């Protein structure tokens, strides 16, 4: 039975593929989503952000088990996502969770960012890690105009590039020891175990 993994975008898919591969290497009881995707056991469904509530029941006619992962974001968006998750969780063989942190980049360790790019980025659970990282990477380039003088569109474009980099190159620098610091509640492991349970049901 194929499981539909409903996430917000391609960056989430890149993160989950890589972090699950790393965790599976040290704990074979946790699923390797990249391998499972190749075998056709799970299918990622990126809905592109936007209106989360619209996806709470959109895939129901397919009669497949579903796991939805939504970024926590900031209020009032958080409340909309919680309501969407509640709708999913009322359906049979479906589970939805909100990240406890703002988004997946907040589960990265600053040492992994340094290992990948040589920049030190300090952030908390609800900072926009992509923007902070983009700013630090930008500061490495001498002769450029100051970050705050860049037009917002340019800042946004650089943050999007940084977000992609964080969810690919930086995730690959993560270790179980780093993750135990950045995710002490083992949220990511709990998502992977929930996926495993849905597949076994």
List residues bridging with 80 in a β-sheet.
Answer: none
Contacts of 106 (CB under 8 A, 6+ apart): 99, 123, 124, 125, 126, 127, 129
pLDDT band of 145, cuts 50, 70, 90: confident
Of the options 3.40.50, 1.20.58, 1.10.8, 3.30.70, the CATH number for the domain spanning 3-100+185-200: 3.40.50
Position 104 scores a pLDDT of: 98
Mean pLDDT of the chain: 94
User: What is the spatial distance between Cα 37 and Cα 17, in angstroms, rounded to a whole number?
Assistant: 9
Q: Is the pLDDT of residue 143 over 80?
A: no
Position 146 scores a pLDDT of: 83
Q: Is the pLDDT of residue 149 over 80?
A: no
Q: Is the pLDDT of residue 12 over 70?
A: yes
Average pLDDT rounded to a whole number, residues 95-112: 98
Q: Find, among 2, 190, 20, the residue nearest to 93 by Cα.
A: 2
Q: At what angle do helices 10-26 and 152-165 cross, to 10 degrees?
A: 30
**Over the stretch 39-87, which tens digit does the pLDDT of each residue have?**
999 999 999 866 898 999 999 999 999 999 999 998 998 999 999 999 9
Residues of CATH 3.40.50 domain(s) within the chain? 3-100+185-200
Taking only Cα atoms into account, the Rg of the chain, rounded to an integer number of angstroms, comes to 17
Q: What is the pTM of this model?
A: 0.94
Q: Is the pLDDT of residue 139 over 90?
A: no
pLDDT band of 148, cuts 50, 70, 90: confident
pLDDT band of 142, cuts 50, 70, 90: low
Beta-strand (E) ranges in 84-186? Answer: 94-98
Position 1 scores a pLDDT of: 67
The distance from CA 180 to its chain's CA centroid, rounded to whole angstroms, is 17
């Amino acid at each position: 039975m194929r499981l539909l993994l409903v996430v917000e975008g391609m960056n989430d898919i890149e993160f989950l593929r890589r972090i699950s591969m790393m965790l599976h290497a040290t704990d074979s009881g946790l699923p390797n989503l990249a391998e499972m995707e190749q075998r056709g056991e799970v299918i990622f469904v990126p809905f592109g952000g936007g209106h989360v509530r619209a996806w709470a029941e959109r895939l129901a006619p397919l009669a497949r088990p579903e796991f939805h992962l939504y970024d926590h974001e900031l209020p009032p968006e958080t409340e909309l996502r919680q309501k969407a998750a509640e709708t999913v969780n009322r359906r049979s063989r479906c589970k939805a969770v909100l990240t406890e942190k703002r988004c997946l980049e907040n589960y990265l360790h600053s040492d992994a960012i340094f290992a990948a790019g040589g920049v030190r980025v300090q952030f908390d659970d609800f900072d926009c890690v992509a923007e902070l990282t983009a700013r630090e990477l930008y500061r490495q380039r001498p002769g450029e105009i100051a970050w705050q003088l860049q037009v917002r569109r340019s800042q946004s474009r650089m943050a999007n590039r940084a977000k992609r980099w964080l969810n690919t190159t930086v995730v690959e620098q993560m270790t179980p020891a780093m993750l135990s610091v950045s995710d002490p509640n083992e949220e990511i492991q709990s998502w992977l175990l929930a996926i495993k349970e849905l597949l076994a049901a």
